[in-house]
A = this chain, B = another copy of it.
Amino acid sequence: MQLFFCHTLNGSNASLNDEESRHLKVLRKQVGDSIACIDGKGNLLKCTILKIGKDHTDLQVDDCQFMPLERKYALHLLIAPTKNNERIEWMLEKAVECGIDVITFIETDHSEKHRINMSRLERIAISALKQSGRYYLPEIQSLQKLSDVQLEPCFFFAHCAEGNKNTLKDYFAQQSPQGNYQVLIGPEGDFSSAEIDRFYKIGGQGLSLGTGRLRTETAGLYIAMTFSALS
């Protein structure tokens, strides 16, 4: 089933933005045709095309089915973007396929990347969402300083230094992931020792991601896939 992503849904009215409207035209859809849409908030819609504009399409909602979230956990990944854009982009694509709720990009002591292209990341996330048959678009939060981030009690953080670390399998040996989890992943040069010390002091839980040394983007995806696999 071909799915479209509607950016606005208001009762029986919905609309597609410029990108989705272009997609609609490529598929030669016309006024009066019926299409299936998701809104990224759990709604699966059956719509009739009312008007196809240059950068906007108006839809009438004929049916709206709410799809409850199947996961029992909510995963918030806080990750330093990689120097190479492509690497963080594919991490995002794959994390959306596996299920994730919030991604926050963070600037850390060793960060070398100070800008990200939010609109491109959002397009990638929407495309991955449609492809994966999921209904919930993760919230993507723009780059912010690590020191400005509100860390929840018992957040996880992965690092390569010495220190008290466990695997996610150890942490979830008694019970599958249930509830809200924050996981921090550092940049190519890892978190600084000052950052790691602070994390332990404020109650963070050190995370081991197995025996190999994972790249930043691999580590981010490892988190999303492991939560999915353990739940």
Whether a CB of chain B sits under 8 angstroms from the CB of A138 is no
Residue of B97, B210, B215 touching A228 (CB-CB under 8 A): B210
**Chain B contacts for A71, CB-based, 8 A:** 211
Q: Does A146 contact B (CB under 8 A)?
A: no
**Known contacts A211-B71, A211-B99, A94 near B218 by CB under 8 Å:** yes
Q: Which of A85-116 contact B (CB under 8 A)?
A: 90, 94, 97-99
A225 at the interface (CB under 8 A from B): yes
A202 within 8 A of B: no
Instruction: Find the B residue at minimum CB distance from A222.
Output: B225
User: Which residues from chain B contact A231 at a C-beta distance below 8 Å?
Assistant: 169
Binary per-residue interface labels of chain A (32-71) against chain B in the complex, 1 for a CB within 8 Å, 0 otherwise: 0000000000000000000000000000000000000011
B218 and A97 form a contact (CB under 8 A)? yes
- Whether a CB of chain B sits under 8 angstroms from the CB of A212 is yes
Number of chain copies forming the complex: 2
Chain B residue with minimal CB distance to A160? B133
Q: Please determine whether B97 and A214 come into contact, CB atoms closer than 8 angstroms.
A: yes
Q: Bound complex: CA of A94 vs CA of B218, how far in Å?
A: 6
Overall SS of chain A's interface: helix
Residues of B within 8 A of A134 (CB): 211-212
Nearest chain-B residue to A217 (Cβ)?
A: B94
- A residues 114-156 near B (Cβ < 8 Å) are 131-134
Does A161 lie at the interface of the complex (its beta carbon under 8 Å from any beta carbon of B)? no
Contact B90 A210 (CB under 8 A): no
Interface pair B211/A70, CB less than 8 Å apart = yes
Which of A98, A169, A212 has the most B CB atoms < 10 Å from its CB? A212
- In the complex, A97 Cα to B214 Cα: how many Å? 6
The smallest C-beta distance from A118 to any residue of chain B, in angstroms, reads 23
Are B99 and A229 in contact, with the CB atoms below 8 A? Answer: no
Identify which of A134, A214, A229, A230 gathers the most chain B CB atoms within 10 Å of its CB.
A229
- Chain A, residues 149-193, CB within 8 Å of chain B (1/0): the string is 000000000000000000111000000000000000000000000
**Interface pairs A-B: 9 shortest CB-CB:** A226-B229, A132-B212, A133-B213, A225-B225, A70-B211, A210-B228, A134-B212, A94-B218, A97-B218
